[in-house]
Structure 1
Amino acid sequence: MISNERFHFVLPSKETALVMTVCPNYEENGVSSTMTGKPNFVDLQGHLLHGVLHSNGFGHLICINGIEEGSEVSGNDLMDFWDRICTGLRARKVSLNDVAKKRNMDLRLFHGVAFGEPWFGRWGYRFVRGSYGVTQLMYQKAIEGLQSMPLGLLIQQSNVSDYEVLAICNRYQAMSGHSLSTLGHLFCFMYELKHRLPLENHMISANSAKTIVETTCRWSPKRIEMAKRVIVEALRRAEFRWVSRQEVRDAARAYIGDTGLLDFVLKSLGNHIVGNYVVRRTVNPVTKVLEYCLEDISTTFCNQEGFPLSSSTTKSHSHFTRNQLTSDMLYVYNYIFKETRPTITTGIDSAIWMATRLVLDAKRLVKDYTGELYPKFSLGREDTLKLLCTICIRNKDGGFGCNEGIRKALPPYDIISMHPHATFKELKMEVEKTFKETYWGLKSLSVDSVVDVNATDSDLVLGLVEAGSSLVFTGRIEDKEADAKEIYETKNDSLVVDCLCGAKEDDGEKLITCDICEVRQHNRCTRIDNTEDVPHIFLCSRCEQDIILFPSLPQSN
């Protein structure tokens, strides 16, 4: 149903803020540009964040643009902020179209293969409906198929003269310390490794200890270098297992008594290369204690042929940054998902192509907040009676929409709070007031009775229904010129969708209409490119077949 109000939440970027500053003709009040004739600030493209919440609690995240688009705020921070807004304002459901990219990589594909869910899944968004007839089961099977794809099989498919894929797999296999046997294992490790590396090129080689010496440091580079080597030796004796910061500190104190120097070096050593080792640092998720571990990189960095570099070469060129990792991710992504293959009709190429298309077509996501909100408000306090209520509109012929198959068009249940001694008359008045204030088409609503509850206006509510119950009220629109069906924000029911892919409703993709039966089908499914002009005459496959098989008319005597 169409809500009375909607609220835009916009974090402008430097560019959109500049446009607003230098172009005073832009509307600031959120009124649609089609109504005012002036360009609207919220319609601008390129905001850091733009989301909409309707007065009935439903919303849509229109866009987020993080560091990838030149922002100083990361996409994670923007999503955290948006999620706090929705939670604080008690949103019901929020939808989005997942078109997020990272260096031209579709995140719903890369993150889906790595973790089994889209990137937005970290905030509770789930796939509900796909384009081109993609179902939840089809999406899940496609993800599982790509995740379990054996790396060895993919490497065998690589060009014999191109060792880059083999070199990348060898590099991260050596880094991981455990088997990376499938594509899902590789993508998961690369993604997690990227977030453990520093943002810039802070990793240093063995002979560059001076880069961690601050200008105001009271220790000489020689003492810092000695402390580093003592700490690395202590970690090496731990046989490459994770060791707590206190254990490392205690072991190093047997050789260096200056605890301030040890604390300074331990703080500086995270993700730094010392000799043939990388000193890893992380927080134990269980104990919440800072831990350190050594990682042997003497065979990690490979040459163009995919073979390990010598120790001397490694020491002088052991700089591994996020940029290199991102480049490797992009290379593998393009090789597997985008590289043109000689044939895609059979075998592994066909399986990858089909699964990739299914995942990319699953871009409509929804987060349901009602599970978080309703348990908190269903019963209420002792001095408050809380119920979940909705309405069913009486049609002009006297029947009720909810009894004629239009129950799916009922407005969502709303939480109605009453005093514990409220009567049904008071409850109906409160329901009527709430829905009038929420929905544009219900300004002349009059509530009549409660479905499946035999009660008079003077009866106490709490005596006939329990707190937290869900009630449906019948009502009518007093405005004689209003049509109950016009208050719903629905698509044109006269347009029938029956596509070859199995889609039975408009999913937002481009459609073309048959000139005979007027059934609509996807451009892509009928092999019409979205960039091509629509043909002057189009026949669906069924009508085309009927014409071919249509028998000649019988001859009259």
Structure 2
Amino acid sequence: MMSYLDLISSKKRKREERVFRFKIFGENGYPVEFDGSFQQNIKKLLELGHFERNICSRMPSWSFKLEVIRQPSFHILLFVVEEPIEASLEHHCKHCQYLGWGQNMICNRKYHFVLPSKDIEAAFLNCQDGAISTKDNFNLVQSRGHLMHGIFHSNGFGHLLCVNGMEGGSNLAGCQIMEFWDRLCTGLRARKVSLNDISQKRSMELRLLHGVAFSEPWFGRWGYKFGRGSFGVTQPMHQKAIETIQGMPLCILVHYLGNSNHHIPVILSRYQTVSDHSLVTLGDLFRFMLELKTHLPEENCVDSHIVKPTCRWSPKRVEMATRVIVEALKRAEFRWVSRQDVRDAARAYIGDTGLLDFVLKSLGNHVVGNYLVRRCLNPVTKVLEYCLEDVSNVHPEQQGLVINNSKMKGRYRMTRPQLMKDMLYLYRCILKDQKPTMNQGILSAIPAATRIILDTKYLVKEYNGELPWKIHHTGHEEAGKMTLYCTVFLRDKQESNEVMKKAMPPLECITLKNNATFNELKLEVERKFRELYWGLKSFVVESIMNLNVKGTDLVSEVVEVGQKIVLEGSNAESGTINELIYECGVNNRVVDCACGAKEDDGERMISCDICEVWQHSRCVQIPNNQEMPPIFLCSRCEKEIMILPSMP
């Protein structure tokens, strides 16, 4: 049961390194107290990491060894790569541009947090061991297929680029990786984090499936919500599309589809019989199926997880011993019980102590029915202990499912593979079907609503928003210091001192001594924002907006702790093009698409060869699998050409 890290690194990582617990890594206080800004917190975290070489050329990198399970041993590596702006191939962040964050200033650094795949980690360990020459330029950041890859700008804005759970070859479930990522964002005090939701389960887009079932995408359980829609989709459009499909009556579906597709009425009848309450709409049906799925155990879970090819006991005997042990743990009422006590209780029914020892060794951290059997070494007594955890109620909304109800007997005859097969069939026939039958009457609303939901891929979670962290007044006053929220307003000297219309950077916490002057405040603000932003390396504060003060005046006599202050200034170096210091850059591209889009949203576009206006290729009837035409004219220019008088 050893992980790939344990198998490979035992030979190749010949060094001592600290091991951290995966399940609480990122929580406040573990592995370090996160009590500052994002930049301060990440510096504290990296001080505990192991400095690595040969991961990314010219980029400082660290690794953290994370223990997922103690017994049996299972560890993974977390890599953190600091990408300075000088080492970036592209200064402007396309993820910020597509999210509508183009008004953010370019930061001096990015931080990549990576849980690598097995193959990528093996390549790194080979590189570290010398099996691969450093001239091969192994680059973790540019590699694909990670279990997780997230980016933070040094001002606290971030992007989750990928999550690959078990279907992607991971030993971790997607929800475990997301919980880990969410702890990191919360602990480090990120501001806002985005992701591009293209997650799938057996060819079913989860943003559509979970949107119809739970009114939110799969990532919604971690607080990610509508960020920005593609193809001109707005949040009200997205919400209306979900409500349209959710409220579709099942009787209407049977009326229109039942004659041509006999499987649909059979499936609907099957789950209506199993359900403890009436299923009226399509939203009711998908919600019930997803909730029921969490109750159905994986088939042959005992055989597949415990019985090994070399096992000398039959699957039936192993299963019997497993059930006896689980029943003994049930009687302990979910308390931790020592291995010896569990073994003694099971011996009253199973006389073969070798079989009991084998099952107890193999059973830890496995699901049996509705229970997860946990195993852990007591840190005080150094004795193995076991405990049951009820995993039947994964969703808090499942209280409507009464397992002991007579109607639920059917679920014992229903397997999870059968349920997934039914769900996939309904998904394809109702939500993804492009046949003419779906354009009849009220059903015509489903394809249009489905497209709107699928065109909403950019999700955002706001962790700390405008304020980096809450100021505790008493703590700073006792230390003889005061803290203010400050930002800067950039003027452009090359344009007759007209104020730039770009957005100001987010507020930063500035800590000063109680007897600090405004001159000292200006110096501290200059230092802070020069350290954060690439375009402010020569920034000089010239005045403080809405405050008529002298440089020698004491800050504490004019402003209060926690007050928001805007300092105005400009770049001292000549020749700085202020337009280039923002994530959007100098964007002369004009977007005016028939779908309503006015900005680049990351979807494939084509420009007219006459007016040079950009439109989505899909909106001008160019399929994604078709190459762009060498010459393209928009409909407006085509019409103008048609009405031009013919040449003599």
Q: Name the TM tier (shorter chain).
A: 0.7 to 0.9
Alpha-carbon spacing, 1:210–1:183, altered in 2? closer, same or farther (3 Å): farther
Distance 1:526 1:498 in 2: 12
- Count of equivalent residues: 476
Alpha-carbon spacing, 1:43–1:380, altered in 2? closer, same or farther (3 Å): farther
Deviations 1:530-549 (A, max 9, x none): 22222222111222222233
| 2:173 is equivalent to residue 74 of structure 1 | yes
Alpha-carbon spacing, 1:300–1:458, altered in 2? closer, same or farther (3 Å): same
The one of 446, 450, 464 equivalent to 1:370 is 464
> CA offset at residue 341 of structure 1?
1.3
Deviations 1:373-393 (A, max 9, x none): 656237573424222211122
| 2:494 is equivalent to residue 397 of structure 1 | yes
Name the residue aligned to 2:282: 183
8 Å Cα contact 1:451/1:472 also seen in 2: yes
> CA offset at residue 142 of structure 1?
0.3
> CA offset at residue 65 of structure 1?
0.3
The one of 493, 506, 509 equivalent to 1:415 is 509
8 Å Cα contact 1:197/1:321 also seen in 2: yes
Name the residue aligned to 1:15: 119
> CA offset at residue 324 of structure 1?
2.0
8 Å Cα contact 1:385/1:467 also seen in 2: yes
Cα RMSD after superposing both structures: 3.7
Deviations 1:456-494 (A, max 9, x none): 111222333332222221122122232222222214421
Name the residue aligned to 1:434: 528
8 Å Cα contact 1:515/1:538 also seen in 2: yes
Distance 2:146 2:540 in 1: 42
Q: Say which SS state the counterpart of residue 350 (structure 1) adopts.
A: helix
Distance 2:318 2:510 in 1: 63
8 Å Cα contact 2:189/2:468 also seen in 1: no
Name the residue aligned to 2:406: 296
Name the residue aligned to 2:628: 534
Deviations 1:348-402 (A, max 9, x none): 342111000000000011111125965623757342422221112221236556x
Deviations 1:11-53 (A, max 9, x none): 1121222233446799999xxxxxx994522222211111111
8 Å Cα contact 2:544/2:566 also seen in 1: yes
| 2:325 is equivalent to residue 214 of structure 1 | no
Q: Normalising by structure 1, what TM-score?
A: 0.77
Q: Say which SS state the counterpart of residue 53 (structure 1) adopts.
A: strand
Distance 1:380 1:218 in 2: 54
Name the residue aligned to 2:163: 64
8 Å Cα contact 1:190/1:325 also seen in 2: yes
Distance 2:324 2:280 in 1: 46
Alpha-carbon spacing, 1:484–1:53, altered in 2? closer, same or farther (3 Å): same
| 2:557 is equivalent to residue 463 of structure 1 | yes
Name the residue aligned to 1:241: none
**Which range moves more in the overlay, 502-511 or 543-552?**
543-552
Distance 2:631 2:418 in 1: 52
Alpha-carbon spacing, 1:506–1:400, altered in 2? closer, same or farther (3 Å): farther
8 Å Cα contact 2:196/2:458 also seen in 1: yes
Q: Look up the equivalent residue of 2:501 and give its one-letter code.
A: G
Q: Say which SS state the counterpart of residue 300 (structure 1) adopts.
A: helix
8 Å Cα contact 1:514/1:539 also seen in 2: yes
Structure 1: runs of 5+ lacking an equivalent = 30-35, 229-244, 247-257, 262-266, 272-279, 302-317
The one of 116, 136, 139 equivalent to 2:238 is 139
Q: Look up the equivalent residue of 2:643 and give its one-letter code.
A: L
Distance 1:359 1:380 in 2: 48
**Which range moves more in the overlay, 139-148 or 36-45?**
36-45
Name the residue aligned to 1:158: 257
8 Å Cα contact 1:114/1:147 also seen in 2: yes
Write out aligned runs for 1:31-46 (5 A).
Answer: 38=137, 40-46=139-145
Alpha-carbon spacing, 1:169–1:526, altered in 2? closer, same or farther (3 Å): same
Q: Look up the equivalent residue of 2:520 and give its one-letter code.
A: E
Q: Look up the equivalent residue of 1:392 and give its one-letter code.
A: F
| 2:112 is equivalent to residue 5 of structure 1 | no
> CA offset at residue 345 of structure 1?
4.8
Alpha-carbon spacing, 1:66–1:215, altered in 2? closer, same or farther (3 Å): closer
Alpha-carbon spacing, 1:496–1:438, altered in 2? closer, same or farther (3 Å): same
Write out aligned runs for 1:328-347 (5 A).
Answer: 328-342=422-436, 345-347=439-441
Alpha-carbon spacing, 1:154–1:421, altered in 2? closer, same or farther (3 Å): farther
Alpha-carbon spacing, 1:28–1:132, altered in 2? closer, same or farther (3 Å): farther
Q: Say which SS state the counterpart of residue 376 (structure 1) adopts.
A: coil
Q: Look up the equivalent residue of 2:211 and give its one-letter code.
A: G
The one of 476, 482, 485 equivalent to 1:388 is 485
8 Å Cα contact 1:512/1:523 also seen in 2: yes
8 Å Cα contact 2:468/2:507 also seen in 1: no
Name the residue aligned to 2:591: 497
The one of 542, 545, 555 equivalent to 2:639 is 545
Distance 2:226 2:145 in 1: 25
Q: Normalising by structure 2, what TM-score?
A: 0.66
> CA offset at residue 210 of structure 1?
7.1
Name the residue aligned to 1:517: 611
Deviations 1:177-210 (A, max 9, x none): 1011111111111111112222444599xxx997
| 2:297 is equivalent to residue 193 of structure 1 | no
Alpha-carbon spacing, 1:46–1:186, altered in 2? closer, same or farther (3 Å): same
Q: Say which SS state the counterpart of residue 269 (structure 2) adopts.
A: helix
Distance 1:511 1:120 in 2: 28
Q: Look up the equivalent residue of 1:9 and give its one-letter code.
A: F
Distance 1:377 1:321 in 2: 53
Alpha-carbon spacing, 1:269–1:109, altered in 2? closer, same or farther (3 Å): closer
Distance 2:394 2:181 in 1: 28
Q: Say which SS state the counterpart of residue 557 (structure 2) adopts.
A: helix
Structure 2: runs of 5+ lacking an equivalent = 1-104, 304-314, 335-345, 350-366, 372-389
